[in-house]
Amino acid sequence: DNLPKGLRNSGEADVIKRMKEYLMKQNDREKQQYRNDYINNHDTPTQCLHSFNYWEHGPAYKVIPNKPLEDSAKKAFFSDEYTVKLCSMSLTELHQYEPANEMLGFIPEDVLRDGHEQQQYRPTHDEFFRCISWSRDGLPFEALPDQFNNNGEAVLHCGVIHFDDKPDGIPLKFVPSRNLALWLSCRGVPIPSLNDRKQILDMVALCRTNEVDPLPSYVMRSGGGC
């Protein structure tokens, strides 16, 4: 969040451009110079440095083939012959997980397990990676509860979204466009006709004003709203 804010002439596209320029540098010395210039131009250099370190050295799962001499990570993933390890996003062996802790300011494994301390069974990283259990609480994933329209008919998930007019709602500006697009399609709106987020928000506002109810899921499965 700190990278796009405060940097002169900045914006999301400009930040992405700068990050690509950084990755294309030929050696560590050039990268360090580019990085220092970038951070020093920021209104809050300390926060920017923290964000930069997290972007470059943050925790990520690494796919390790069971037969590393024979299979690539991609091949092992699709053949389901791999294990996973919590590592750093840095691609160099020097920064594989442990050395990156100093740059992050915390130990990813400790933070990950902090919410699992009261459980008798500790899920493996493989279970988190395969979405068998949720890394946040260590518990198995559960099916989402069914949603219903005003007629009591089951609708597709995202057909009902509690916006900020509900006590437990989400402000509209924080709802991803993908979710809003599905919300609209459940009301028979042809999504390909909407070209950008503004058009999506305008259509959502129109549907809410007219209290358009989502179509039942059996209609959607037969092609309605597509």
Euclidean distance between CA atoms 85 and 219, whole angstroms: 43
Q: Are strands 82-88 and 147-148 parallel, antiparallel or unpaired?
A: unpaired
Mean pLDDT lowest among 2-16, 48-62, 78-92, 166-180: 2-16
- pLDDT number for residue 95: 44
Confidence category of residue 51, pLDDT binned at 50, 70, 90: confident
Instruction: Tell me what percent of the residues of the chain surpass a pLDDT of 90.
Output: 17
Around Cβ 59, how many Cβ atoms within 10 Å? 19
pLDDT at 32 over 90: no
Q: Are strands 154-155 and 147-148 parallel, antiparallel or unpaired?
A: antiparallel
Euclidean distance between CA atoms 152 and 215, whole angstroms: 11
Nearest Cα residue to 86 out of 135, 29, 14: 135
Type of residue at 138: G
Mean pLDDT of all residues in 133-138: 85
pLDDT at 148 over 90: yes
Euclidean distance between CA atoms 65 and 77, whole angstroms: 8
- pLDDT number for residue 225: 44
pLDDT at 2 over 50: no
- pLDDT number for residue 209: 92
pLDDT at 133 over 70: yes
pLDDT at 204 over 90: yes
pTM of the complete model: 0.57
- pLDDT number for residue 86: 85
pLDDT at 207 over 90: yes
1-6 long-range contacts (CB < 8 A, ≥24 apart) are 1/51, 2/42, 2/44, 2/47, 2/48, 2/50, 2/51, 3/48, 3/51, 3/52, 3/55, 5/43, 6/42, 6/43, 6/44, 6/48
For residue 31, what are its two tokens? 């990268």
pLDDT at 212 over 90: yes
Type of residue at 164: D
Mean pLDDT of all residues in 97-122: 72
Name residues whose C-beta falls within 8 Å of residue 22's C-beta, 6 or more positions apart in sequence: 31, 34, 35, 38
